[in-house]
């Protein structure tokens, strides 16, 4: 049975127009990524994880994460931390910034985060995890969601016990990435566990992990009865996978690829500033131009160029028709009301 990914669903009062969710990814999920994801069919997009301590201390870089554009909605902003009161305060800031959902990170496996008692560690400390969810849910009017892994150790089934408790504490939806924290990104996401998880909780579940094609999305939705699938790595430099998952299998032309990359570069430079964008964007060159789309030496050439103007020139020389696609894309972008808050431009590479 095919699931229609164009069906809308809701988290409390928040309507989500498709069954496809763009994953939060630290160092990737900038505004340009999220806006692009919405254009290509994601019904919900997420910020990368934001430190509640950073928000508490009004850290300039962390506050930069609360910039939300008018065409990103519905959008979840994800926070991480271990102190219920500080998480509640962060959630209020996220709500005030205009996010539609506050998402809580109980999945980050990175030591820098877990050693503070945050992220995936909380799967082994369910009392504290519930206190956090409860404090956050009481602090805001928008729905609260939680994104989690299966547990800390390989084979752990901790999520099956913790999940229902988080719902009792106030989580309106749960996302499961069924790998252990120890696995990081190795092995396979165990969606048989996702199916058990869906049976245990009475809120919508989003399935995350290894969704790389329409066929995989369909099979995970059918076998787990999750309400939606989340796509992460497959969408890096590749919004066309979202289009494919939604049912349009057409491969992008070289012109489309170059136009989307240049638009992404321009938006990211506006968001992060030229200096920070330089390092940030390098990985995107190979993500966009890889997959057999352009020869390998071409990507290397771009990385070695000094300025964004030179990179753009070189890209447009390789696909001259891209300038027309780019002009159309820029024309279609909503104008004005781009940034809801007058905040410093920054990025925190946490996690
Ligand atoms: C570079 C990178 C950064 C990530 N950052 C976050 C994050 O900030 N918050 C989070 O909940 N998950 C984060 N994740 C996990 C993804 O959201 C997703 O659950 C995981 O990558 C599995 O999905 P995939 O196979 O589609 O990539 C990150 C993953 C990657 C690869």
Residue 333 confidence (pLDDT): 84
What confidence tens digit (pLDDT) does each residue in 17-45 have? Answer: 999 999 999 999 999 999 999 999 999 99
pLDDT score of 91 more than 70: yes
Tokens of 235: 């969408």
What separation in Å is there between the alpha carbon of 254 and the centre of ligand 1? 28
- Greatest extent of the chain over all pairs of C-alpha atoms, in Å: 58
Q: How many residues does the chain have?
A: 351
pLDDT score of 337 more than 60: no
pLDDT score of 344 more than 60: no
pLDDT score of 123 more than 90: yes
pLDDT score of 339 more than 80: no
Percent of the chain with pLDDT over 90: 91
Contact call for residues 338 and 329 (beta carbons, < 8 A):
no
Write the residue with the smallest CA distance to atom 13 of ligand 1. Answer: 25
Handedness of CA 239, 242, 246, 251 (dihedral sign): positive
Dist CA 259 CA 267 (whole Å):
12
Q: Containing H/E element for 308?
A: helix 308-318
Residue 1 confidence (pLDDT): 75
Q: Out of 49, 148, 149, 232, give the residue to mutate to test ligand 1, the one with the largest number of ligand atoms within 8 Å of its CB.
A: 232
Residue 336 confidence (pLDDT): 54
- Cβ neighbours, 10 Å, residue 202: 9
What confidence tens digit (pLDDT) does each residue in 286-321 have? Answer: 999 999 999 989 988 998 999 999 999 999 999 999
Q: For residue 233, give the ligand 1 atom closest to its CA.
A: 27
What average pLDDT does range 310-334 have in this prediction? 95
Dist CA 51 CA 153 (whole Å):
24
- Reply yes or no on whether 108 is catalytic: yes
pLDDT band at 51 (very low <50, low <70, confident <90, very high): very high
Dist CA 105 CA 14 (whole Å):
20
Dist CA 269 CA 263 (whole Å):
10
- Cβ neighbours, 10 Å, residue 337: 9
What separation in Å is there between the alpha carbon of 26 and the centre of ligand 1? 7
Percent of the chain with pLDDT over 70: 95
Residue 39 confidence (pLDDT): 96
- Cβ neighbours, 10 Å, residue 325: 20
What confidence tens digit (pLDDT) does each residue in 198-246 have? Answer: 999 999 999 999 999 999 999 999 999 999 999 999 999 999 999 999 9
Answer yes or no: is the C-beta of 148 below 6 A from any ligand 1 atom.
no
Residue 172 confidence (pLDDT): 98
Answer yes or no: is the C-beta of 24 below 6 A from any ligand 1 atom.
yes
pLDDT band at 347 (very low <50, low <70, confident <90, very high): very low
With a CB cutoff of 8 Å and minimum separation 6, the contacts of 141 are 95
pLDDT score of 348 more than 60: no
Annotated catalytic residue, options 46, 108, 130, 159: 108
Least confident of 141-155, 188-202, 299-313: 299-313
């Amino acid at each position: 049975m095919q699931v229609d990914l164009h069906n809308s669903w809701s988290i409390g009062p928040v309507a989500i127009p498709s069954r496809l969710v763009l994953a939060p990814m630290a160092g990737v999920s900038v505004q340009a990524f999220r806006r692009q994801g919405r254009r290509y069919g994601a019904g919900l997009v997420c910020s990368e994880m934001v430190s509640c301590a950073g928000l508490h201390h009004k850290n300039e870089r962390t506050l930069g994460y609360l910039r939300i554009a008018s065409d990103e909605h519905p959008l979840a902003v994800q926070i991480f931390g271990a102190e219920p009161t500080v998480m509640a305060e962060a959630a209020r800031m996220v709500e005030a910034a205009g996010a539609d959902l506050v998402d809580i990170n109980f999945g980050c496996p990175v030591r820098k985060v877990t050693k503070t008692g945050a992220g995936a560690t909380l799967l082994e400390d369910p009392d504290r995890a519930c206190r956090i969810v409860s404090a956050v849910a009481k602090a805001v009017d928008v729905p609260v969601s939680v994104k989690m892994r299966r547990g800390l150790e390989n084979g752990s089934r901790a999520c099956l016990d913790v999940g229902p408790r988080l719902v009792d504490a106030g989580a309106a939806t749960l996302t499961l990435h069924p790998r252990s924290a120890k696995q990081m990104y190795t092995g396979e996401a165990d969606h048989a566990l996702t199916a058990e998880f869906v049976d245990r909780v009475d809120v919508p579940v989003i399935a995350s992990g290894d969704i790389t094609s329409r066929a995989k999305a369909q099979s995970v939705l059918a076998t787990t009865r999750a309400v939606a699938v989340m796509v992460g790595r497959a969408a890096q430099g590749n919004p066309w996978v979202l289009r494919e998952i939604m049912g349009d299998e057409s491969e992008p032309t070289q012109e489309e690829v170059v136009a989307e990359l240049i638009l992404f570069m321009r938006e990211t430079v506006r968001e992060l500033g030229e200096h920070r964008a330089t390092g940030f964007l390098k990985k995107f060159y190979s993500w966009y131009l890889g997959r057999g789309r352009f020869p390998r030496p071409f990507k290397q050439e771009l990385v070695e160029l000094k300025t964004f103007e030179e990179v753009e020139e070189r890209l447009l020389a390789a696909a001259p028709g891209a300038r027309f696609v780019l002009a159309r894309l820029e024309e279609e972008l909503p104008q004005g009301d781009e940034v809801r808050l007058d905040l410093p431009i920054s990025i925190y590479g946490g996690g």
